[in-house]
Structure formats: C-alpha cells, structure tokens
Amino acid sequence: MQAPFTDPRSFKSAYKRFKFGIKKSAYMDLIQELKRDNSSLRQLADQEMSQQAGKSSFRRRPNFERVRSQATSLFTSLQRSLHITCQAPHEVNLCVPTPRSDQDVSFRLVLHHKTALASSWLYEEAEVRPMSSKPNLSVHGDGNTAGGKGSGTKSANRVTFAQSQTVATKTTRLAGIGSSAAEIHDLCGSISRFRSSRCETCLGVLTDPSRDLQHALFWPSAPVVDRTSSLGMLSLGELLSQQAGQSLSVAETKHLAVELSACVLRLYDTPWLSKQWGRNEITLFKRGNKILAEYPFISAKMVAVPALTGTSGHAYFQSGPAISNETVFALGILLIELCLRQPFDQLILPSERDPDGTKNEMSDYYAALRLLDQVDDTAGHRYGDAVRRCVRGHFEQRTTSLDNEAFRRAVYDGVVAEIQDDANQFFGRA
C-alpha cells in the first residue's frame, strides 16, 4: 500500500492546511465569543441608558424660577432700603441653601459695610424668608407697623395676609412673624436697633413695591458667621491663588461644586449673577481654620448710585463664537478651577494667547478644551462630563438660552444633577 505522502513537500503543504484549519476554527470560536460579549455589553449599555433616561425623567427638579423671582425682588428691596440715610457702599453676600421643598425657600444674607467708620455696625447676618404677597401691615410715620392689640393671644403671634378678592375666606400666614413686625424702610439705620433683639421673632419686613412681594428678616438660628472672632471672610479667588495661605481640600471643592452649579439656575439673569461670574464674586467664611464650603455666598456691591450696583463686572473670559452660553461656560471654567485648584488664567498656555501675551476670543475656549482630559483624570468621568457639557455647550438642544425651559432642564440634568451625584458618590451617599 502506498503511503499517503511520498513527497515531503506535499506533506508540508497538507500539514500547513491542517494547521490553518485548526487555527481558523479557534479563530472563529474567538470571533463568536467576541460577538456574544459585544452583544452583552450592548445590552448593558442600553439598560444603563434606559435607566439614566428614566432617572432624568423622574428626577424632581427644583422650582428655580420661583427662587430667581424672589432673589431679584430681594435685591431690589435691599438696594432701596440700604441707602435711605446711609450713602456708604455696602457689600451684600447672598447664600441660597438648597430648600427642603418648593415652599421652604429661604435666603441667607451677610451685610458688610465697606468702610468701618460709616456706621455703628460693620457686618451683620440675617435669614430672609420670602412672602408671596403683602400682609396687612399698617405703617406709622416712623416706619414701625401697628399690630393687633391682643399680643397675648395665639393670633397675635402671626400676621394674616391680605385675603384674595376671588377667595374671600382664604388667608395665608407666615409662621414666626409677630403682629408687631415693622415694615423696614431704612435697613442700614435699623440694624443697630435690631442688634439688641437676638431672638427668633421677625425683625421686620422689606418691601418690593414693583413685584408686590415682601421679605421677612430673622436672626439666623444657626449663624454662618462666627461672631466670637474676627470676620473670617475671603473670596474663592484668594483661595485659588494661594493669597489666603490656605488651600481647598477635595471634599471642600465637592461641596462648592454642588452649590455653585445650582447657583446658575437659581440666580442667572438676576442682579446677583452676571454672565461673566466667577471666583472673585464668591465669598466664603471661616470658622476657626475651617472653610464653610457648604455655604458659598454670591457677593454684590450696593452703592447709592444704582448704575454702579451689582456684581463687579470682572471679565473672566473672552466671549467668542464658540461659546454658546456665557453663563454656563463661566460655570465650566469655575468647575475646572475647583478641580485643578488654580485660577483659570494661570492654566492658559502661551501658545493659546496672541504673540503679545493677550487673550483672543478663542484663547479661553481652547484652553478649556485642552484641560478636559486633565479634569477627567483628576475628578472622574461623571464630573468631567458635566464640565465638558458646560464648555462645549452640547446639551442636544436647538436653543441655548436659559430662558428656554427645555434648555434649563438639560442643564439641570446634564450638569447640576451630575455634579450632585458625583458628590454623593464621593461622600458615600450614593
């Protein structure tokens, strides 16, 4: 019988074919396994996208519009009442704590005289609870309000709001406001008198005639400012530039990122927050050596001349065609600064500037794009994706104005909520 392979070359050829056949079979098995794995990954990705979409659709978004309207009204009331008798410049610092409900909105104020000798007080802290309509307050010539006679009765501890013409039996009350609460006309002058009454009762009511709104002032039950020591007050810009001799911890930057991202939707297009807002308009307070990062304040200067009132007007970046929304882009820059803990100007390369060292309309945008990967590596993809949306302006919306409700929802879901989830994960609350 003849051997199957008499020619060595034919044996080598057959062996190669046989070996290739085995390799091909193993290769095809690997291909099928990869296909199965890819299919599983695709299913997982689809499930994740579905869960995220469901999460966004069922996420309860705060009523930012109500907060914005009340914050604007409060600014008008303060500007009107601070300069009745005092013409010295004031700095007003506003904090908007996250409300527990849409009906539980309150503001925290720290009023600060820019000149120490201008008045009998240098700084004062107050809690402000907005009132949706004017109560029945009768004002005497001295600005004090006459209340009910029965101060010892239960009804005397409240102020009854004016009844609606359409629903005559319906009344609205704000707990904690005594019937003798004064309508404050001269806030700067009244603060000296208020300082002797450290209690939870209402100190008085500020009025904004243009919006038919009032704001009740209280001493805070848990003050932010430590009155037992000197005023520990510094700007975020001083912290980032190391001028304060203290740096932010990672935990502190997470707290600040959460509160300041929400500030965009709470205060955009109000006198408190300009399109070019940033680190120098953000004031922090210290208790001892601890920075109270959970309570960042937005600072506004109020002077007797209304045209000079409001934020500082500092330009933090050059506006250009690549920036679709300046307010949101400003938040992106701020989130980069918090992550890398440096002022943004120090992060721009010489190659991203003009030959004379000045910035052009694309300098800030190109620098922010370059820094996105570094933010990802430092703070993680969730935080990085939120920053990326702010910088690129990619929210899958035709309109990129915060006046548009759909765009506001997209900013909340894609930035504010993601920053909150990132912080929850960092602090183990997820």
Give me the CATH number covering residue 337.
Answer: 1.10.510
Instruction: Answer whether residue 51 is part of any domain.
Output: no
Q: What tens digit of pLDDT does each residue of 41-89 get?
A: 666 655 554 455 445 445 678 888 889 999 999 999 998 898 888 878 8
pTM of the model: 0.75
**Whether residue 210 has pLDDT greater than 60:** yes
Q: Give the pLDDT of residue 349.
A: 95
Residues 383 and 315 in one domain: yes
User: Which of 218, 251, 283 is the C-terminal boundary of a domain?
Assistant: 218
Q: Give the pLDDT of residue 140.
A: 31
Model confidence at 167, pLDDT cuts 50, 70, 90, reads: very low
Residues 266 and 407 in one domain: yes
Domain that holds residue 200: 64-143+173-218
How many domains is the chain partitioned into structurally? 2
Residues 324 and 390 in one domain: yes
Residues 212 and 99 in one domain: yes
User: Which of 218, 244, 277 is the C-terminal boundary of a domain?
Assistant: 218
Residues 283 and 410 in one domain: yes
Instruction: Answer whether residue 420 is part of any domain.
Output: yes
Instruction: Answer whether residue 257 is part of any domain.
Output: yes
HEC string for the chain: CCCCCCCHHHHHHHHHHHHHHHHHHHHHHHHHHHHHHHHHHHHHHHHHHHHHHHHHHHCCCCCHHHHHHHHHHHHHHHHHHHCCCCCCCEEEEEECCCCCCCCCCCEEEEEEECCCCCCCCCEEEEEEEEECCCECCEECCCCCEECCCCCCCHHHHCCEECCCCCCCCCCCECCCCCCCCCECCCHHHHHHHHCCCCCCCCCEEEEECCCCEEEEEECCCCCCCCCCCCCCEEEHHHHHCCCCCCCCCHHHHHHHHHHHHHHHHHHECECCECCCCCHHHEEEEEECCEECCCCCEEEEEECCCHHHCECCCCCCCCCCCCCCCHHHHHHHHHHHHHHHCCCHHHHCCHHHCCCCCCCCCCHHHHHHHHHHHHHHHHHCHHHHHHHHHHHHCCCCCCCCCCCCHHHHHHHHHHHHHHHHHHHHHHCCCC
Residues 198 and 316 in one domain: no
Model confidence at 117, pLDDT cuts 50, 70, 90, reads: low
The mean of the pLDDT values for the chain is 78
